[in-house]
Amino acid sequence: MKLTDARTLLKEIRNKDERISIRPHAWKDHPERKFSPLELVRLLQGKGGLHDNKYPTAAAGSFLWICRDEDGRKTELAIVFEADKSGDLIVIIHAYREIGNEKNNSK
Amino acid sequence: MKKTTVSNYRYQSVFGEMVFDEISVQIPDTCDPRKIRRADALEGIDYSLSVSEIKKMERDLALSYFSKCYRVIMLGERTISVEELKGIQDILNVNRSEFGKLLGLHKGSVTNLFKGKAMKPSLCILIMERLGMELGRPGSARHMLDGGNPEAQVPEARKIINQTRYFRSQAA
């Protein structure tokens, strides 16, 4: 899927809870980042931008949702689009944010 | 992706840990759903959980937290931690400025709360009451923020009230 199509699809379905799912890896494997699954959903449904995932270790077909959390820290969510019987799904597969600079509230 | 239902799923959040049955998970097409009946079988599989399932589990955990801690907090024997505060914010489904509005606090005071500043017992009780309200009636925090105006949501009701007024004025 190309970035433009991905943006259109994301805009269409990101506010529908039933069309979003999360891999437990996104919030469980790095407890130091202190993500909760509902926070990930709130970040995805809030302000941000979708970009190509250019990390060398990126999952095939994944995109990066880049936004800022409520402490002003840069946050990146890796998402993929999957299809099931009822249509397209957004799957949050990975989440990253810097830790230790909670005081940096610059936006 | 395929959907399957598993039992004995262990879910953990800031409110504690609980084992759930009948949890719907999404598994890759290559997996056989008949072989995955219990949560142990999900080991090593790239499964995902839908947001509605997560919300359901979070609510159950929050409910058990509320029934366990409300009395203790009301008596001032315990306060709310920053992690619990974030969990409550998640359950209320609001951002920090909205959270401040629900509590009648200034934005700066809310930031201080999330940085771990000590809370007054009265504020702890108010937060627990907001949580209880949301658990008792989902969406009530959002409703309160929207002005708590039921008429705006039910235009038919507004129409009937207006009609009644019209007939009354005619009769007069």
Over the stretch B82-94, which tens digit does the pLDDT of each residue have? 999 999 999 999 9
Query: Is residue A80 domain-resident?
Result: yes
The reply to whether B13 and B63 lie within a common domain is no
Burial B9-35 (b: 16+ CB within 10 A, else e): bebebbbeeeebeebebbbeeebeeee
The reply to whether B32 and B63 lie within a common domain is no
Query: Is residue A14 domain-resident?
Result: yes
- How many angstroms separate the CA of residue B143 from the nearest CA in chain A? 18
pLDDT of residue B150: 54
Helix axis angle, B121-136 relative to B51-74, nearest 10°? Answer: 140
Task: Domain of residue A78: give its range.
Answer: 3-97
The reply to whether B66 and B141 lie within a common domain is yes
Band (A107; pLDDT cuts 50, 70, 90): very low
The reply to whether B43 and B76 lie within a common domain is no
**ipTM of the complex model:** 0.86
Task: Domain of residue B127: give its range.
Answer: 51-149
The reply to whether B127 and B43 lie within a common domain is no
> For B13, which residue in chain A has the nearest alpha carbon?
A36
The reply to whether B88 and B135 lie within a common domain is yes
Which chain B residues are within 8 Å of A22, Cβ to Cβ? 48-49, 51, 54
Strand partners, B164: none
Which chain B residues are within 8 Å of A46, Cβ to Cβ? 95
> pLDDT digit string (tens) for B38-63?
888 888 888 999 999 999 999 999 99
Query: Is residue B156 domain-resident?
Result: no
Taking the whole predicted model, whether its pTM rises above 0.80 is answered as yes
Averaged pLDDT of chain B: 86
The domain that holds A28 is classified in CATH as 3.30.2310
Nearest to B12 by CA among A22, A39, A38, A28: A28
> pLDDT digit string (tens) for A45-62?
999 999 999 999 888 899
What's the half-sphere exposure (Cβ side, CA atoms, 13 Å) at B155? 0
Residue A84 contacts B, CB cutoff 8 Å: yes
- Top residue of A32, A42, A70, A93 to mutate, by most chain B CBs within 10 Å, is A70
- How many angstroms separate the CA of residue A62 from the nearest CA in chain B? 15
- How many angstroms separate the CA of residue B24 from the nearest CA in chain A? 11
Number of domains in chain A: 1
pLDDT of residue B159: 65
Answer for the pair B7, B37: CB distance below 8 angstroms, yes or no.
yes
The reply to whether B144 and B73 lie within a common domain is yes
Instruction: Please report where in the chains the tokens 């949501």 appear, as a residue.
Output: B153
Strand partners, B110: none
Band (A106; pLDDT cuts 50, 70, 90): very low
Number of domains in chain B: 2
Cα–Cα dist B94/B74, whole Å: 24
The reply to whether B3 and B21 lie within a common domain is yes
The reply to whether B32 and B114 lie within a common domain is no
> pLDDT digit string (tens) for B5-45?
999 999 999 999 999 998 999 988 888 888 888 888 888 88
Nearest to B41 by CA among B14, B73, B9: B9
Query: Is residue A25 domain-resident?
Result: yes
